[in-house]
Amino acid sequence: MKNVIPLKKTLAAAVFSVAALSAAVGDAFAQAKEQFIGLPSYRVGAYAAGGSGLYGGWIDYMAMINERDGGVGGVKLTWEECETEYNNARGVECYERLKKKGSTGNSVFQPVSTGITYSLLDKVVADKIPMVTIGYGRTDAADGRVFPWVFPMITTYWSQATTMVKYIGAKEGGIDKLKGKKIVYLYHDSAFGKEGLTVLEKQAQKYGFSLVLLPVAHPGNEQQSQWLRIRQEKPDWVILWGWGVMNPTALKAAAKTGYPREKMVGVWWAGAEEDTVPAGDAAKGFTAAGFSVAGPNYPVIKAIQDNVYKKNKGNMEDKTRVGSVNYNRGVVHGIITVEAIRTAQAKFGKKPLSGDEMRWGFEHLDIDAKRLKDLGAEGFMPNLKITCADHEGSGLVKYQQWDGKQWKIVSDWIEPDREMVRGMIEESAAKYAKEKGITPRDCAKEG
């Protein structure tokens, strides 16, 4: 009898160990079939209104992929938000906090802030984590030979600025009609605002228009003096390169000084409902650039509504914002992330991917017209083809006009001045490479 108890204990211990081991293996297996995406978001603070829309769209798209398709290639998408409040120091802290999460670590970092992007340029190279900056960030990072880990995708600020000139030219009856015209560049007095300066000065030289520069100090909630200058200058067009409260303030001030809003073209960060609604009637007729469009009438948005919101799993508290400009931008972030995973899985297998493997996926991303149609995003965003040398991949921009209630598309996808922009990108990237002692990659040798 004396031996029975130990035997029972041994058996119990063995059963417990097997069960625990099974559970652990099960957990590990489950964990192994998950792709972790770290999201540095801003849902509180000065820019919370835009942030809540963007991250809502992004998360809803990934949730839809999990609900409808069971993840990407059988690998479930998981994510965790980290609040940056659009603050550089917090952004870097979030990067550090998120980078070790998930079975393969954080496989991509998308800061949604030019400031945070600049702070992490060296870190992402050391940590082998690709950094994707859609519609913001450092423009010359589009030269993938010098910046292999950074992807300023779809359109950079420089490409956008040249499409603005093309759009204005078309409105004037042809680009040659810009000769002798006057354009005011009303910009946020920051690195973001100054990003469009050089290329617009070059465009002014090329097409013969004069450019008047009017900086607005942060946050831009008082613009009386700038608009009195505009009244004095009597420009043919005003380019509004604003951010946050600067945008509705500019629209209100334009109305106050009697400047027609139809003659104002905004950067895409001036082209959301959050920019026009506070300005009320003063915003009517204002046009802004976009790398995606507004509206819920796209199959991809319908898929989100059917697979996520009908199951009460949507991220947006205010469901009327589904299909708004910032929400749709978030969906674009989701599409690009998921398509990069899909591309990388085709090479590395249907498993959780490391940052290095994800980088390969981003660098071989090819979202053509057929793929866009399959995704339900035809007309929703432009085609995108990333290569080793070109990390921008598109450059196309569409223009939307605020009719007092919603954004209406008023142009087709407009091509940038590729020759000028690419030349500037290569020149600037080469200078950066020299400063940092980087030897540019030979793309002919890249797989």
Partner 1 sequence: MQFFIEVLLGGLLSGVMYSFVALGFVLIYKASGVFNFAQGAMVFAAALSFVGFQNLGLSFPLALLAAFTTMVALGILTERVVLRPLVNQPPITLFMATIGLSYVIEGLAQGFWGANVRGLELGVDDVPVQWLMDSTGIGVSSFDLFGAGVAAVLVALLALFFQYTRIGRALRAVADDHQAALSIGIPLQTIWRIVWAVAGFVALVAGLIWGARNGVSFSLTFTALKALPVLILGGFTSIPGAIVGGLIIGSTEKLAEVYLGEYVGGGIDSWFPYMMALTFLLIRPEGLFGEKHIDRV
Instruction: Tell me which residues touch partner 1 (CB under 8 A).
Output: 43-49, 51-52, 189, 213-219, 221-222, 224-226, 228-229, 231-232, 244-245, 248-249, 252, 255-258, 274, 277-280, 282, 317-318, 321
Q: Reduced to 3 states, what is the DSSP secondary structure of residue 82?
A: strand
* Token digits of residue 166: 């093309």
CA 123 to chain centre: 20
**Long-range Cβ pairs for the range 167-172 (8 Å, 24+):** 167/265, 167/287, 167/289, 167/399, 167/411, 167/414, 168/237, 168/265, 169/207, 170/411, 172/236
| Of residues 316 and 332, the one with the C-beta less far from partner 1 | 316
Closest approach, Cβ 36 to partner 1, in A, equals 26
Closest approach, Cβ 325 to partner 1, in A, equals 12
Closest Cα to residue 236, out of 287, 162, 169?
169
| Of residues 178 and 322, the one with the C-beta less far from partner 1 | 322
The whole-angstrom separation of Cα 219 and Cα 151 is: 28
Closest approach, Cβ 83 to partner 1, in A, equals 12
Closest Cα to residue 97, out of 87, 115, 84, 85?
84
Q: Reduced to 3 states, what is the DSSP secondary structure of residue 212?
A: strand
Closest approach, Cβ 217 to partner 1, in A, equals 3
Closest approach, Cβ 44 to partner 1, in A, equals 6
| Of residues 122 and 222, the one with the C-beta less far from partner 1 | 222
Closest Cα to residue 127, out of 348, 354, 353?
354
| Of residues 112 and 377, the one with the C-beta less far from partner 1 | 112
| Of residues 197 and 443, the one with the C-beta less far from partner 1 | 197
| Of residues 245 and 367, the one with the C-beta less far from partner 1 | 245
Residues pairing with 81 in the sheet: 39
- Amino acid identity at 296: P
Closest approach, Cβ 409 to partner 1, in A, equals 23
| Of residues 15 and 228, the one with the C-beta less far from partner 1 | 228
Closest approach, Cβ 57 to partner 1, in A, equals 15
